[in-house]
Each structure stands twice: as C-alpha cells, then as structure tokens.
C-alpha cells in the first residue's frame, strides 16, 4: 500500500540505495519510490520532500551515516538551485559514478559493453569552468534587480550572488548588471576564457557594454567567432580535449573524405581541415553557419551545407565518405539521418553524445552495420550528473 506524501515532509533514518542517472540516490518509504539528492549510496540520512516527478523528489537535510566519499560542498546554494547534483562527492568518485551511469545505460544493447568503456577523462577545472550562463531575473520586492536560477522541482527562482561552476568573469559581469534589469525576465552572459572578449544579451538600455552580436574565443590555438544564437561548448578546456581525442581517433593521412554532421561553428572541421582531403560540414543554424564561414575562411577543402541532416538525405557527394562525425543535440540523430549515414557507408562513425539514452536508441539503428570499438566518456560538467561520450564505431565486415 502506498501512502501519499506531501511536500516539506521530513523523513528520518532513510537508507539510500544505488545512484540513479539523474545524480540522485534511490530509496523507498511507505511504498513510495524516492529520488534523493545530496546523498551517496549506502548512507543513512534525513530528507525533506521537495517535489514530485514520476517519483517523489527529496533533498538530504542531515547525514546520520556518512560515506567516505562525502566532502563539504563549496556552494551555499547547493540543492537549492538544483544545478549541481554531485558537489558533495569527491571528484574521483564523481568520475566513477559517471562511468557507471554509462555502463548501466548501455548494457541493454551489449552485455559486455563495460569492456569497451574507458575511464572518464577528468576536467582540468573542477569549478569555474562554465563560459556561458543564462540567468532569470527576480521580480520579488525583496530581491528586485537580482538574478539567479529556477529550481527544477519547486520552479522557484533562487537568487544567487555568484556561482562556483561559472567562470569568475561571468560572476563579475553578473554583479555589474545588478540594478539594470528592469523589464527583463532573462539574460545570458558568455565570456572568452582565453581573452577579455564577452557577450551579454539582450541589450540593456542604460549600459553600453551589452547587446553584442558575437564574441571571440581560442580553440586549440585557433581564433573562432561565436555569435549570440550559436551553440558552443561551455567548458572550453575540456572541449579542446574532445577535439584532441577525435583527431587521434581519426588518425588522418590526408586522403580522407569526412562528413561533419551537426558541425556548429566549425570547430571539428577547423581541427581536421589541414589533415583531411575534403570535409562536408552540415549545420541547420543560420548563425552557426555564418560563424563557420568566418572560422573556416582560409580552408578551401571544407564545404558548408546548411540544413537539417534529415532534410538533405538526397544530397550526393563526389567522393565516398570515409569518416562520419555525428555531434547531435540531446535528442540524438533523426532516424532518416541515421539511415542516410548508413547508406553512405563510411568505414568509421565517430558519435559525440551528450545524452547516453539518445545514443542507445540511435545505436539500435546503427548496429545493423556498425559495432562499437570503444567509448571514451568525458567530464564536461564537473559537480553535475552530465557526462559526454565519444564513441568510435567501425563498420561490420561480413
């Protein structure tokens, strides 16, 4: 029998079970399945019910039996803003937890998948790594002019002074904007890690340094332009590691033809262009394509194609594709696009996944012609549940 539980209920002496892939720990109480944030597997804790999804959502408020992996969280807003899920755990254990996330998610397609999953590549920066933040603006009389993040479960705005995973330049810009947000509901701040370039949108009427159209960044020592609507990785140092790993996996001789799908502002094409014979880069975002034109201006062997990958499946190439790089959004690759890539028959596919669940679904289509050679997880987002994976797929030979 399930007893209905209400928000703000305190549950004492709760035994925590395994980690779940959202960064919570599983628990049970009076027939209810709980997802407990701020805990560690096998701990005994007191919790408060803070919301409901499919399960009841709880936050740890007191630790009775502590794990050896527990540390003091650096942020005073931990669990309040819901942005970080693992900040209370030693970093080395965070990496192991994320590796286990990947293994558990992919065991359904291959029982022996663990042998092909490498250790998670750690981030050089554990804090202050994010170069992009989107803040919501407070309308409260007590906090008028301040800003912060919306709690995922309560939907309440948590006003913050600074965020410990944001680049310190963002925290400085945020403090400069206090009192200038009248009439706004949101704003975003992007900063370059390598120089003093930054971008703040939208334009603040009384501030001259806001409303820029783009900013500049250096990616593996190459200067690139990133416009306001364009996507770019928020952890630049780890993105550079990703580029190095992909370059190593490709191991180009100068004769290869590459398909760079979901190419963004052209970062992978930029890295590989001086080692490949030809690159076809596909991107649907107008701003990203325009950025890529500037970023790839000196490389005549890169052809930019604007459109959704699934909508250009009638496109023909003069040469056979040797390597396909797929770097989709969290929803994964469209079914028609997957079939098209399979028909192109590249010898290898390098799939960059920011959502292991989506990759698992896509792999069920790809496995008819491709097998997983290895999976390299990367920690792009320390202190959070998120993990990215570079998957090297090889064509199945009959």
Task: Please report, for residues 20, 48, 96, 100, the alpha-carbon distance to residue 110 in angstroms, rounded to integers and kept in the order given.
Answer: 20, 38, 20, 14
d(CA 356, CA 372): 14
d(CA 39, CA 291): 43
List of E strands, 300-343: 302-306, 323-326
Task: Please report, for residues 78, 175, 186, 293, 320, the alpha-carbon distance to residue 189 in angstroms, rounded to integers and kept in the order given.
Answer: 21, 12, 10, 24, 42
Contact 217, 193 (CB under 8 A): yes
d(CA 335, CA 362): 8
Annotated catalytic residue 354: yes
- The residues near 172 (Cβ < 8 Å, ≥ 6 apart) are none
Helix (H, G, I), strand (E, B) or coil at 101: helix
Give the max Cα distance, the chain: 69
Selected catalytic residue, list 163, 250, 354, 389:
354
Phi and psi torsions of 141, nearest 5°: -60, -30
Across the chain, how many H-helices and E-strands are there? 7, 19
Contact 159, 197 (CB under 8 A): no
Q: What is the DSSP string of 207-232?
A: -TT---SEEEEEETTEEEEEETTS--
Sign of torsion, CA 151 154 156 158?
negative
Going by C-alpha positions, the residue among 299, 213, 223 that lies closest to residue 260 is 299
- Alpha carbons within 13 angstroms on the beta-carbon side of residue 25 total 23
Active site residues per annotation? 354
């Amino acid at each position: 029998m399930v007893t209905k539980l209400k928000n703000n209920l305190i549950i004492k002496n709760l035994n925590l079970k395994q980690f779940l892939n959202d960064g919570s720990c599983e628990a049970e109480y009076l027939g209810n399945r709980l997802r407990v944030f701020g805990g560690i597997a096998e701990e005994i804790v007191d919790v408060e019910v803070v919301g409901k999804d499919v399960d009841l959502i709880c936050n740890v408020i007191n630790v009775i039996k502590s794990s050896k992996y527990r540390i003091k969280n650096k942020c005073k807003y931990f669990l309040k803003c819901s942005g970080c899920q693992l900040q209370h755990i030693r970093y080395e254990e965070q990496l192991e937890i994320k590796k286990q996330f990947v293994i558990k998610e992919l065991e359904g397609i291959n029982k022996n998948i663990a042998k092909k999953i490498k250790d998670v590549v750690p981030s050089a920066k554990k804090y202050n790594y994010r170069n992009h933040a989107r803040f919501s603006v407070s309308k409260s009389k007590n906090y008028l002019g301040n800003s912060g993040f919306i709690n995922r479960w309560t939907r309440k705005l948590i006003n913050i002074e600074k965020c410990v995973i944001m680049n310190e330049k963002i925290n400085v810009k945020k403090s400069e904007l206090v009192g200038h947000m009248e009439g706004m509901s949101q704003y975003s701040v992007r900063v370059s890690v390598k120089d003093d370039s930054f971008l703040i949108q939208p334009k603040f009427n009384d501030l001259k340094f806001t409303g820029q159209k783009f900013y500049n960044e250096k990616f593996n020592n190459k200067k690139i332009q990133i416009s306001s609507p364009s996507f770019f990785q928020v952890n630049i140092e780890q993105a550079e590691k990703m580029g190095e790993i992909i370059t190593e996996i490709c191991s180009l001789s100068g004769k290869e033809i590459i398909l760079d799908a979901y190419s963004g502002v052209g970062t992978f094409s930029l890295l590989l262009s001086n080692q490949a014979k030809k690159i076809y880069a596909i991107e649907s975002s107008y701003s990203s394509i325009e950025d890529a034109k500037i970023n790839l201006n000196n490389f005549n062997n890169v052809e930019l194609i604007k459109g959704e990958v699934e909508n250009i499946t009638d496109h023909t190439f003069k040469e056979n594709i040797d390597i396909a790089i797929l770097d989709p959004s969290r929803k994964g690759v469209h079914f028609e696009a997957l079939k098209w890539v399979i028909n192109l028959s590249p010898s290898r596919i390098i799939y960059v996944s920011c959502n292991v669940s989506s990759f698992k679904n896509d792999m069920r289509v790809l496995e008819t012609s491709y097998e997983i050679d290895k999976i390299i997880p990367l920690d792009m987002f320390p202190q959070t549940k998120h993990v990215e994976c570079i998957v090297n797929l090889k064509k199945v030979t009959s």
